[in-house]
Amino acid sequence: QGGGFRLIEAAMRARRLLACGTALASATRATMLSRLPFPPRTAFVGEVGAGLRAVQEAMAMASKVQRGVESMTKGDLSPVTVADFAAQAMVLSRLRAAYPEDGFIAEESSENMEDEFAAATSAAAEMSKSALKDAIDLGGIGWDRGRRWILDPIDGTKGFLRGEQFCCALCLLVDGSPAASVLGCPNLDSGTFAVALKGAGAFVFQHGAWSKLAVSDAAVGDGLRLVEGVARSHSNHDWSDAAFRSLGRPTEPVRLDSQAKAVVLSMARADAFLRLPKRGYVEKVWDAA
């Protein structure tokens, strides 16, 4: 019971902090959404806007919850927090309202949520418990439809728990092919969002402006910069270090959690990403959203 009360108190503190930061968050969101870097008639630009709005709101909540939050462990022994459940509920409920015929695939299920988490999560997401669970479980509805949204609500939960890098990863598949995607990385350079549209390019929003993403043009032997995950359970760092050093004289690798690595790579702040999974490690579709 003590842990449950601490979770609820943390969620309520987060709500008060969110209220204090509403004006700033709203101004940033308005600037970001009013200046989408795609022509208005571009296919799926509306979906990017809806996804970006939902991800930004969820990440504002997660940033406030990050300090002092507790976690529970799922059946696969991976950690999950109030923010994972709340972010999934917030993003999916907003997308369902905008695109009611679409399907959704997302990481979390309300079956994994302990009762004490339900109270804290409903407070963080500002939803009733029943609405919260219904929204979370949209993640298993319509997986076989032509249009499917793929969501990892909090990618990099271990980084989130350490107060470091995490992100919200969202992708729209149309007939099995990626059409649009959004990444929200609240702790990357004090807040970074990236969007992509098939055939229209990829862009990053930082410091109040959009800029086009372009990967590094460094060649093998130029002192390549490697980015890789923090968790040794995901990749064998010794193998990747040996493989990468065979290509030249690389600098020390940059290690960070979550798909924020994709943004770092796309901004040419690293030249290569390498993952050499250990036996038993399995990637899920939301791990590449």
* Catalytic-role residue among 81, 121, 157, 192: 157
pLDDT attached to residue 96: 97
Contact 96, 138 (CB under 8 A): yes
157 noted as active-site residue: yes
CA neighbor of 55 nearest in space, from 202, 153, 187:
153
Instruction: State how far the Cα of 251 lies from the Cα of 176, in Å rounded to an integer.
Output: 38
pLDDT attached to residue 117: 76
pLDDT attached to residue 120: 84
Instruction: State how far the Cα of 66 lies from the Cα of 74, in Å rounded to an integer.
Output: 19
84 noted as active-site residue: yes
pLDDT along the chain (289 residues), means of 10: 43 42 55 88 96 95 77 58 92 97 94 78 91 94 87 92 93 96 94 96 94 88 77 71 71 84 93 79 83
pLDDT attached to residue 51: 97
pLDDT attached to residue 9: 45
* Catalytic-role residue among 81, 84, 121, 155: 84
CB-CB neighbours of 31 under 10 Å: 13
pLDDT attached to residue 111: 86
User: Which DSSP string do the residues of 125-139 spell out, in sequence order?
Assistant: HT--HHHHHHHHGGG
Q: Spell out the residues 6+ positions from residue 238 whose beta carbon is closer than 8 angstroms to its own.
A: none
pLDDT attached to residue 2: 43
CA neighbor of 28 nearest in space, from 55, 65, 67, 62:
55
pLDDT attached to residue 206: 92
Instruction: State how far the Cα of 71 lies from the Cα of 85, in Å rounded to an integer.
Output: 11
Contact 194, 204 (CB under 8 A): yes
The token pair at 233 is 């359970």
Instruction: State how far the Cα of 193 lies from the Cα of 187, in Å rounded to an integer.
Output: 10
Residues in the chain: 289
φ, ψ of residue 41 to 5 degrees: the values are -95, 5
pLDDT attached to residue 175: 94
pLDDT attached to residue 178: 95
Helix (H) or strand (E) holding 17: helix 2-20
pLDDT attached to residue 86: 94
The token pair at 41 is 């008639």
pLDDT attached to residue 254: 81
pLDDT attached to residue 114: 75
pLDDT attached to residue 241: 76
Instruction: State how far the Cα of 97 lies from the Cα of 33, in Å rounded to an integer.
Output: 18
Integer-rounded Cα radius of gyration of the chain:
19
